Amino acid sequence: MSSSSPHEKMSPIELRATAGLAGIYGLRMLGMFIILPVFAFYAEHLPGGSNYTLVGIALGAYGLTQAVLQIPFGWLSDRFGRKPVIYVGLILFAVGSFIAASATDIYGVIFGRIIQGAGAISAAVMALAADLTREEHRTKAMAAIGMTIGATFALSLIIAPALNRLIGVPGIFVMTGVLALVAMTVVSRIVPDPVISRFHSDTEASVGRFGNVLRDPQLLRLDFGVFALHAVLMALWLVVPLSLRTAGLAADHHWQVYLPVLLVSMIMIIPAIIYGEKKAKLKQIFVISIAVLLVSQVLLAYTSDSLWGTATALLVFFAAFNLLEATLPSLISKIAPVGAKGTAIGIYSSVQFLGAFVGATAGGYLYQHHGSSALFAFCGILLALWLVFAATMKAPAAVRTRMYHVQEMDTGKASGLSRQLAALPGVHEALVLASEGVAYLKVDMSGFDEQGVVQLLGGEA
pLDDT tens-digit readout, 255-292: 999 999 999 998 998 888 888 777 778 889 999 999 99
- Pair (80, 114) in one structural domain: yes
Number of folded domains in the chain?
A: 3
pLDDT of residue 166: 93
Three-state secondary-structure class, residue 409: coil
Q: Is the pLDDT reported for residue 224 higher than 50? A: yes
- Pair (255, 155) in one structural domain: no
Q: Is the pLDDT reported for residue 407 higher than 70? A: yes
Q: What does the pLDDT average to over 446-461?
A: 73
Q: At 459, is the pLDDT very low, low, confident or very high (cuts 50, 70, 90)?
A: low
pLDDT of residue 3: 39
C-alpha distances in Å from residue 230, one per residue of 59, 167, 180, 217, 351 = 12, 28, 24, 20, 9
The C-alpha atoms of residue 289 and residue 20 are separated, in whole angstroms, by 33
Lowest mean pLDDT segment, chosen from 91-95, 419-423, 452-456: 452-456
- Pair (32, 153) in one structural domain: yes
pLDDT of residue 460: 57
Q: Is the pLDDT reported for residue 43 higher than 50? A: yes
90: Cβ contacts below 8 Å, ≥ 6 apart: 24, 28, 119, 121, 180, 181, 183, 184, 187
User: Across all residues in the chain, what is the average pLDDT?
Assistant: 89
pLDDT digits (tens, 9 = 90+) for 84-140: 999 999 999 999 999 999 999 999 999 999 999 999 898 898 888 888 887 777 778
pLDDT digits (tens, 9 = 90+) for 45-80: 999 989 999 999 999 999 999 999 999 999 999 899
pLDDT of residue 4: 45
- Pair (350, 418) in one structural domain: no
- Pair (225, 197) in one structural domain: no
Domain boundary among 172, 204, 236: 204
Q: What whole-number percentage of the chain has pLDDT above 70?
A: 97
Q: Is the pLDDT reported for residue 181 higher than 90? A: yes
- Pair (448, 371) in one structural domain: no
- Pair (355, 415) in one structural domain: no
What is the residue range of 372's domain?
213-396
The residue with greater pLDDT, 275 or 158, is 158
Q: What does the pLDDT average to over 321-333?
A: 89
The residue with greater pLDDT, 433 or 55, is 55
Three-state secondary-structure class, residue 428: strand
pLDDT of residue 56: 96
Q: Quick check: pTM over 0.75?
A: yes
pLDDT of residue 461: 45
- Pair (409, 361) in one structural domain: no
pLDDT of residue 276: 78
Report the chain's C-alpha Rg in angstroms.
22
Q: What does the pLDDT average to over 312-317?
A: 96
**Could you count the other beta carbons within 10 Å of the beta carbon of residue 450?**
16
The C-alpha atoms of residue 61 and residue 160 are separated, in whole angstroms, by 19
What stretches of 201-306 show up as alpha helix (H) in DSSP?
210-214, 217-236, 240-246, 255-278, 282-302
pLDDT of residue 2: 42
pLDDT of residue 418: 87
CA 59 to chain centre: 17
Q: Is the pLDDT reported for residue 150 higher than 90? A: no
The residue with greater pLDDT, 243 or 455, is 243
- Pair (51, 115) in one structural domain: yes
CATH number (domain holding residue 374)? 1.20.1250.20
**447 phi-psi bin (left φ>0, alpha ψ -120 to 50, beta other):** left
pLDDT of residue 448: 77
- Pair (390, 405) in one structural domain: no
